[in-house]
Structure 1
Amino acid sequence: MRTDLFDYDLPEKLIAQYSVEPRDHSRLMVLDRETGRVEHKRFYEIVDELHEGDVLVMNNTKVFRARLRGGVGERKVEVFLLRERDGLWDVLMQPGRHVSVGDVVKIGDVRGEVVEKADVFRVKFDRPATDLVVFANAHGEIPIPPYVHEVPEHLDQYQTVYATEIGSVAAPTSGFHFTEELLERIRAKGVQIEYVTLHVGIGTFRPVKTDILEEHEMHAEFVAVSEKVAERINLAKQEGRRVIAVGTTTVRTLEGIAALHEGKLVGYSGDVNLFIKPGFEFHVIDALITNFHLPKSTLLVLVSAFVGREHVLSAYEQAVTETYRFFSFGDAMFVRYA
């Protein structure tokens, strides 16, 4: 499938640079999955769209200050920590052209040896992963996307209110719209809230550079769903209650685990590497809360797989006309089904 089928025109002025305050006052487009019909609301009105017995599933990952400034020899480099696995860190370095295997990266009093060089660097640092994250949070920068021009002053400005599990280098931004007060109203309506974890990494934000979607290489990301959470979600499915994913990362967590287990959600902790494209069979989710995504991105492709490309691009065209705010700090969409 051609990547340019998922392109659209977006005026730069519609790229949001900060969240609306209060966050639940952002705009909400409600898109009917079957008909493509659109309604325009405010996010706090999501309560009216939810039914007693619905299960709202959220990604509780927490962002750390993953962007660091360091050096290799006499050269200054930006070091972007992605994830630790098997004692080595996946790292992006900019500029990295002259960095070679065996070089030592220096970041303050931290040292790391470059062990591999491919599309990402593999670096062995001189301290455990937990200690390196503590160092990063003390000395690093908030890893905002390149289309956001000003770094937020505080990390909680690029964090959901329910973030607890440290490990992401980008926020699950569809969760930005929820406030503590809104979550209380949702619970009071009888909606069940469950938490899963996907640590957002390069698999989420890496742009598609191939002309053919199938040639794009996804990167694995760590996910965790407890057995108890899986059991409660499965029970909701059996009882005909809706499972509503908050964000594409939650979709990939639930559907990624199900894809590894013959369509069944189970307790699982480990990597998932899933590129959801049109034609994908969804086994877990019934509805989706998400943001407005970049043209030709894997996230836009995922939403198109769930709703249908024509419905999505038509909705995006209306969003541009109605001057919705786009991307990480932008407005929300609720893909409604039944």
Structure 2
Amino acid sequence: MSTPSPRRFPLGVPFAVLVLTALVALTGCSAAESAGPALAADAPLPASVPEGTKLIVGDPSTKVALQLSGELDKFSFDIEWANISGGPQTTEAFRADALDVGAVAEIPAIHATWTGLPVKIVASKFRVDPIGHPIYQLGVAPGVSVASIADLRGKKIAYSPGQAQGALILRVLKQAGLTKEDVELIELPSTGDVYPSALAGRQVDVAPLGGVNISRYLTKYGPDGATTIPHGLRDDPSHLYVRTETLEDAGKAAAIAEYVAAWGRATKWVYEHPQEWIDGYYVADQGLSKEDGQYLVDAAGEPDVPADWTDVIARHQETIDLLAAETGNDAIKADDLYDRRYEKLGAEAYGSGGQG
């Protein structure tokens, strides 16, 4: 079978429109503001943040966690929050000089580097039981017979290059002993309800579903024969990343260190206050039901914020090597994506018990 070209379907709002809308909302804001003294890549991080430093941060869930925990207004620098999340939007905001810090999974840093945007990861968290508490399951369209990943041969599978869901599909195929030539990859953005709708309309046979979309898909389409199956792979990386040039500003580098510590404490607070998190974030901020919020809290499990990134980088390298082989891009060194000056900051803050 020859390699099929990914097909596109006009489902939902075009991604470019979503990016443009996000960037328009940031008009007048520049991540280049409050430039401080230059800082070498191997220089120690400054011990304090100079007056006049400002960060623009795209990490909406942490903002809510800090607000709920009472720490939102305790930063020693000016912070502006951008309602941006996900790799493509974050990378576009970086390119537009409209963002300093973004919260993403493991793929955006790789693709940013491949497209000429040098970036660094400054914080990483995972799940203590990543297999027992996966982020994604594989949704199966009504009437399609897929009981395990071994049954994926010949199926139409939703694929989103440059995002965690896309890399997961490539890893699943490898685990099943399959290649892209054994399936038909249908290129679709993973935003909103695009994947559930594509499954329900039989535009694809299989798609990775995450979060509340899993339970909603089964509730809505289960009576028609829709199912989900586990993929059995680790899918839990979560990172904060920044442009490399941002870290060359001593003031911003110091502010980012302070933010990473706050992020670590917020992670611990969320885990230790599940009901407050359900009410304050999932219900009040995201508009979900308490039942949906409880489902997501139960699915999340316990966070793991490692103080040593050695294994983290090794796993990231495996992903890079797989993507490079599948996409034709040159393999890059995962270690080059991490700024290990920040390695222990999030873990130490997380270990403080969520106390500011």
TM-score normalised by the chain length of structure 1? 0.27
Structure 1 or 2: more strand by fraction:
1
Structure 1 or 2: more helix by fraction:
2
